[in-house]
Amino acid sequence: MSTVGVVSLGCSKNRVDSERILGCFADAGFTITQKPEEAEVLLVNTCGFITPAKEESINTTLEMAQYKESGRCRLLVMTGCLSQRYRTELETEMPEVDLFWGVHEPEQLVRRVCTMLGIPADCAMRGRRILTTPGYSAYLRIADGCDNRCTYCAIPLIRGGRKSVHMESLLTEARSLAENGVKELTLIAQDTSAYGTELYGKPMLAELLRALCQIDGFQWIRVLYAYPNTVTEELIDTMLSNDKIVKYIDMPIQHIAPRLLKDMNRHGTREHIEHMVDYIRKASDEFILRTTVMLGFPGESEGEFSQLADFLQAHPFDRVGAFTFSPEDGTPAALMEGQLEEEVKQRRLDAIMKAQQHTSLLLNQKRIGRVENVLVEQVSGGIAYGRSYAEAPDVDGMIAVSGVKDAGLLPGMFIKAKLTHADAYDLKGEMLQ
């Protein structure tokens, strides 16, 4: 029985790819190990989004290559976005790697590995996933690729245009996840709110959410990576209409200055973003808003930077992720005039995150006194650490709940807790008996 170890880098969409690859290896009879020194096959599923991610992917692969000497590694495989994008160059630059594979066809990948190891490759594969998230929480990738073509983004160059998964297949996958104990289902794609447009002629995220709510077992259904111009009142009303759909939306805006939205080729206007933020805030004071912004896009003036900073103060988001522009090969923005100094980009990012820390603190403090359902993720030292609907997995803070001694709590359980203290990112609470 051969052993395989998979290192998954990058975003949650890549994580789903890794889970599918693991499912194929398991179907092919491999034993999955978390210990790289024990793996005969080591696979690094890489990220190729921006320069820091590319560097991490290369360094991690070189680290794994050492196990060819010090461990049982016979085959080192690189998959994912970096390999998809730069396979030809990498084949020359990284002789340590025995096989480069892209982002598609995990079954063919595993058959190739079997052939390379000289073991039977004709096994039946069931397209299942081996979850790498805790058993009570899972991602559901509803589409792959993107049609938006933001001028700074390489993802369409790597994953191509949007390919939505048929709703029946998603519901079948979701039912299987629910039957296997998943309680929190997080919907992901490069652009979730455009889901189904190319398949059904119009965005179908609201319909998908309504159908997922019919499946027993899910307590939380969450939406990440929504794109502003397809975030509509109908979608928000659907999210408000069913308790299983958490009142949380991640809607990256990237910027707000009209000239920059145009140069970024961001569809949708400042007016629409403002309208939807106001609509959500009026619809529910419990709705959690997350966004992502980019600082230092070519030509961004101090005035345009201030427009964004002022907008985030006037229309506060509970969570803001920010990163600096990185000129990516093959993207139009990399060739644009007005490339800014790294120091300027970093200064603007620091200013936005400093202001946001204060905003997040104020918004978190408004939750003190509320009673929340907390999904327990860890219990130690008489404290249960978990998340409420307001904290998405892997990206948001935690709630530390006291008063749980001898309660026999386990990860995956839901408890009721009264929130007693708030920081900018984390909160504290007391368990209600």
- Can you name the residues that pair with 301 across neighbouring β-strands? none
Contact 101, 82 (CB under 8 A): no
Region binding ligand SF4 by CB under 6 A among candidate stretches 90-98, 148-156, 333-341, 379-387: 148-156
Closest Cα partner for 384 from 366, 361, 362, 409?
A: 409
* Residue choice 83, 137, 148, 291 for contact with ligand SF4 (CB under 6 A): 148
DSSP 332-357: GGGG-S-PPPHHHHHHHHHHHHHHHH
CB of 156 to ligand SF4, least distance (A): 5
Nearer to ligand SF4, 47 or 399 (CB): 47
CA angle 100, 105, 107 (to 5 degrees): 100
Query: Any contact of residue 40 with ligand SF4 (CB under 6 A)?
Result: no
> In 251-317, at which residue ranges do the beta strands (DSSP E only) sit?
288-295
Q: Establish if 48 lies at the interface with ligand SF4 (CB under 6 A).
A: no
Among residues 150, 256, 273, 322, the one that binds ligand SF4 under rule CB under 6 A: 150
Separation of alpha carbons 318 and 348, rounded Å:
19
10 binds ligand SF4 (CB under 6 A): no
Per CB under 6 A, the list member of 156, 298, 316, 429 interacting with ligand SF4 is 156
| From candidates 81, 110, 153, 235, binder to ligand SF4 by CB under 6 A | 153
- Based on the shown chain and the rule CB under 6 A, indicate whether residue 74 belongs to the binding site for ligand SF4: no
Angstrom distance (rounded) from CA 385 to CA 413: 11
Which pair of tokens denotes residue 23? 């499912």
Least distance in angstroms from the C-beta of 301 to ligand SF4: 22
Q: Residue 149 interacts with ligand SF4 (CB under 6 A)?
A: yes
CA-nearest of 366, 189, 165 to 285 is 366
**Residue from 61, 164, 190, 324 in contact with ligand SF4 (CB under 6 A):** 190
How many residues bind ligand SF4 (CB under 6 A)? The answer is 10
Contacts of ligand SF4 in 219-248 (CB under 6 A): 227
C-alpha span between 295 and 202 (Å, rounded): 32
Q: Which is nearer to ligand SF4, 145 or 393 (CB)?
A: 145
Residue count (the chain): 433
Which residues of the shown chain bind ligand SF4 in the complex (CB under 6 A)? 146, 148-150, 153, 155-156, 190-191, 227
